[in-house]
Amino acid sequence: MKTATKDGAASGARPLPDRDTCLELLETMALIRRFEEEAGRQYQRAKAGGFLHLASGEEATIVGTTSVMRPEDYLIGTYRTHGHAIARGTDPKNVMAELFGREDGTSRGRGGSMHIFDRERRFMGGYGIVGGNLPLAAGLGLSCDYTDSDEVTVCMFGDGASNTGNFGETMNLAALWSLPVVFILENNLYGMGTAVERHSAVTDFSKKAEGLGVPGVRADGMDVLAMRETVTEHLRIAREDRKPTLVEAFTYRYRGHSAADPEVYRTKEEVEEWRRKDPIEAFADRLEAEGVLTNGEREAIRERVDTQVREAVEFADASPEPSLDSLYDNLYVVGDQVPGWYAVDERAPQPFRGEHERERLEGEAKKLAEAGAAYAGQAAQTGHREGEEAAARDEDAAFDERGEGEPDEDAPDPGAGGPESEDGAG
């Protein structure tokens, strides 16, 4: 099995937070797990479409992080972020409705599973492009820095994203500009189906950004208390010391990369081994052992999250499909420059394609188009009305007309706008 060296001590060594916090951590993690299981089920029933990326197994990484953030801090994530939104306080009903592509979804069915968003809770989005959220996180950090606020941006992304150009570019820029961002690399050991040893020359991801000015640490992403401890310190560094850092969280996803993943790249035994240190069960066991949680309460939490998720499904099912006339909604911010989408989409309501398009395409126009030579002066083709004789044109004139194209002496202010130095244009 793949193992992780961890900077943090075993979870037993960390004192428990107060009882309410413990129960809240447990219940949020349980809610995410239950939600993801149900999302998988609804996907099988074709209620949710597209791709579905589940985070079962990664709950401690998510909740350990969000539980120590301030409400005004920004969180930005990947395409595997149902749980991140829920952990930030987004109602599972709206997340499920988004999976169902319905009117009451977080993005009203425009985004789907990969693009959950909740501005009110400062969850600044799930993003479908691997590594695409990294520069956005730096930008959010810049907006906080620019306005002298002490809000911090937390950017969560996967081990695979560390191989994108955005990773190197963003780390360099964040360090250069001292941006208040905590980068949390959710290392679940696979970039899709490619194991970390097979996709990254440097597998200690905590070191991968060091040379770019962003120091990192490793944390046990299966231990919610370890995550809280590490992220708390790194939020402080961002908030007070104004420096970006990276936390590599070792975690594991029990399910495939997406719902359409035969998982040929790993063994059942490996998955079982990780399941034995399940972040939710391990934390609940400890709470029980230390008398914080009674067996009855454990069962009650299970029932509560079960009910909540069932209600989310019912809600999503009952939510209407988006109306077709809302197709163009929010494509643009309507205002001075854009009075409405129709100002931008210039298609005729009933495009007239002409009765004789096919015949016309047989001719010279087609040859010219194929040659990539839709240039000036070629002979005109047949007229546009059937039966109307087009003037006979000399087709050979097409290229003869073009000439050698000598420099245009009368160009406006020629050369005056040129690069002003040898290296002017880069």
Partner 1 sequence: MSVLRMREALRDAMAEEMRRDESVYVMGEDVGVFQGAFKVTEGLLDEFGEKRVRDTPISENTIVGVGVGSAMGGLRPIVELMTVNFSLLAFDQIINHAAAIPYMFNGHARVPIVIRMPGGGGHQLGPTHSHSFEAMFLQIPGLLVACPSTPADGKGLLKASIRDDNPVIFIEHETLYGARGDVADDGDQILKFGEAAIRREGTDVTIIGILRMAHIAEQAAKTLAHEHGVEAELIDPRTLRPLDLDTILESVRKTNRLVVVEEGWPHGGVGANIAALVQEQAFDHLDAPIQRVTGADVPMPYSKRLEQSAIPHAEHIVSAALATTEGAT
- What span, in angstroms and rounded, lies between the C-alpha atoms of 298 and 281? 10
Q: How far is the CB of 246 from partner 1 (least distance, A)?
A: 16
Question: 41, 310, 373, 399: which one contacts partner 1 (CB under 8 A)?
Answer: 373
In the complex, minimum distance from the CB of residue 339 to partner 1, in angstroms, rounded to a whole number: 8
392-411 residues in contact with partner 1 (CB under 8 A) are 393, 401-408, 410-411
Residue with Cβ nearer partner 1 (15 or 349): 349
Exactly one of 17, 23, 24, 143 binds partner 1 (CB under 8 A); that residue is: 143
Q: Given candidates 146, 269, 358, 387, which one binds partner 1 under the rule CB under 8 A?
A: 146
The distance of closest approach from Cβ of residue 251 to partner 1 in the complex, given in angstroms and rounded to an integer, is 25
Rounded CA separation 260/55 (Å): 14
- 345 residue type, one letter: D
CB of 131 to partner 1, least distance (A): 9
| 42 sits near partner 1 (criterion: CB under 8 A) | no
Provide the token pair at 233: 């310190």
User: Residues 229, 187: contact at Cβ < 8 Å?
Assistant: no
What are the structure tokens assigned to 220, written together? 């046990």
The three-class DSSP label of residue 295 is: helix
Q: Count CA atoms closer than 13 A to 179's CA, side-chain side.
A: 28
Q: Which residues of 290-299 are buried (b: 16+ CB within 10 A; e: fewer)?
A: eebbeeebbe
115 vs 13: CA distance, rounded Å: 38
Please report, as a single letter, which amino acid is at residue 99. L
Residues 105-134 interacting with partner 1 (rule: CB under 8 A): 106-108, 110-111, 115, 117-119, 124-125, 127-129, 132, 134
User: In the bound complex, what is the minimum distance in angstroms from residue 85's beta carbon to partner 1?
Assistant: 12
Cα 379 to Cα 353, 399, 424: the distances in Å are: 22, 9, 42
Report the alpha-carbon distance of residue 238 to residue 75 in Å, rounded.
14
Give the interface size with partner 1 as a residue count (CB under 8 A).
94
Task: Please identify which residue in 275, 354, 361, 399 interacts with partner 1, judged by CB under 8 A.
Answer: 354
Find out whether 119 and 94 touch, Cβ atoms under 8 Å.
no
**Site for partner 1 (CB under 8 A): which residue of 333, 358, 387, 422?**
333
Q: Does 412 help bind partner 1 (rule: CB under 8 A)?
A: yes
Amino acid at 139: G
Nearer to partner 1, 291 or 405 (CB): 405
Identified binder of partner 1 from the candidate list 13, 260, 415, 422, rule CB under 8 A = 415
150 to 189, contacts with partner 1 by CB under 8 A? 165-166, 169-170, 172-173, 176-177
Nearer to partner 1, 55 or 138 (CB): 138
Least distance to partner 1, CB of residue 369, Å = 8
Chain positions 248 to 307 lying near partner 1, rule: CB under 8 A, are: none
Angle between helices 165-176 and 133-146 (to 10 degrees): 10
Our CB check for partner 1 shows the closer of 289 and 397 to be: 397
Interface with partner 1, residue 351, by CB under 8 A: yes
* Smallest distance, partner 1 to C-beta of residue 276, A: 39
Interaction between residue 380 and partner 1 (CB under 8 A): yes
Q: How far apart are CA 231 and CA 235, in angstroms?
A: 6
User: Using CB under 8 A, which of 25, 86, 96, 144 touches partner 1?
Assistant: 144
Contacts by 265-272, CB closer than 8 A, 24 or more apart: 265/190, 265/193, 265/194, 265/195, 266/190, 266/195, 269/1, 270/1, 270/2
